[in-house]
Homo-oligomer: A and B are copies of this chain.
Amino acid sequence: MRKLLRVTAPVDLGAIDPRSTPGLPTAERDGQHRKSWARGQVELVGDELGQQQEMLFAMAKAGSERPAHRVLLVLQAMDCGGKDGTIKRVAGAMNPLGLHIRSFGPPSAEELRHDFLWRIRRALPPAGYVGMFNRSHYEDVLIARVGSLVPEATWRARYDEINSFERELTEDGVTLVKVMLHISYAEQGERLLERLTDPRKHWKYNPSDIEARARWDDYQAAYAEALSRCGTDAAPWFVVPADRKWYRDWAVAHLLRETFDTLDLGYPPADFDVAHERERLRSGGAGADGTPEMNGR
């Protein structure tokens, strides 16, 4: 999946069909039950990811890797692109204890007083954790560009700044998995309509979504440039066709698993004498003065 979904400059989003399902086993491509099949696969891959998470955490705790491994999934998409849903399904299949999920909305007054990477640095996963960014520093070359929130010279300089930042992260042990969930204009329309139709989904809707939708082509161009300029070997960009939610989750889960496979993780050896500790456990342990303390249980 990492090979199939990776994009390199020049990125042409128009050439990627949001309804396509690259990498899906042929047997499932037209299967009647492919949706439930994919759901089941996400659960299975999630269990495997849970084991990898545990090794990542154990290695960080033992300090056996310097710098300690971290994995960071960066999710970007147009409104209704499925960022929340992907996290719900994929992270939901993993071990919540080792996850570090952060969502980035419009910057606060305090965040605006700093450079655009300040809030991102503060949100990085600690050693041993898997981070997931729901939106990211890429908003600063997307909405900041399309909405003219900063002068052109400012956002133009950010591509290089992002590349430097991500190189620094890589050198610090962070493995980046940057994913654009790629939906079609038509699919976005249907999902917005759903948010306007189901009262339980009204809270997800914002009237400004329509303005962003009217700038669809500008956003697609901004995405294409970000993916072209910031897709590097160390921190590649992947485009996941996302009109079909079940494929989207299946693909992101596999991207994560393949990424973990490249890390070659394992459990650290004991940093204590196992036989001696078994003996201590058997004999009931020792008090502060070195004599076993009997407590009648």
Q: Which of A106-114, A158-166, A174-182, A264-272 contacts B (4 or more CB under 8 A)?
A: A264-272
Cβ of A281 under 8 Å from chain B: yes
Give 13 A-B pairs besides A88-B97, A205-B270 with Cβ atoms closer than 8 angstroms. Answer: A92-B95, A96-B96, A96-B99, A97-B134, A99-B101, A193-B281, A199-B269, A202-B269, A203-B270, A205-B272, A210-B286, A213-B284, A214-B287
Cβ of A295 under 8 Å from chain B: yes
Q: Which of A2-10, A24-32, A117-125, A184-192 contacts B (4 or more CB under 8 A)?
A: A184-192
A276-290 interface code vs B (CB 8 A; 1 in, 0 out):
011011001111100
Q: Which B residues are CB-close (under 8 A) to A96?
A: 87-88, 91-92, 94, 96, 99, 101
Nearest to A272 among chain B residues (CB) is B207
A91-B95 Cα distance, complex, nearest whole Å: 9
A92-B281 Cα distance, complex, nearest whole Å: 32
Given A269-B202, A295-B217, verify A274-B101 contact (CB < 8 Å): no
Q: Which B residues are CB-close (under 8 A) to A207?
A: 272, 277, 280
Chain copies in the assembled complex: 2
Cβ of A143 under 8 Å from chain B: no
For residue A277, give the distance in angstroms from its CB to the closest CB of chain B.
6
A111-139 interface code vs B (CB 8 A; 1 in, 0 out):
00000000000000000000000100000
Q: Which B residues are CB-close (under 8 A) to A1?
A: none
A200 contacts B293, CB within 8 Å? Answer: no
A192-B284 Cα distance, complex, nearest whole Å: 12
8 nearest A-B pairs in the assembled complex, by CB-CB distance: A214-B285, A58-B203, A185-B297, A91-B96, A202-B270, A210-B285, A214-B293, A210-B280
Q: Which B residues are CB-close (under 8 A) to A101?
A: 96-97, 99
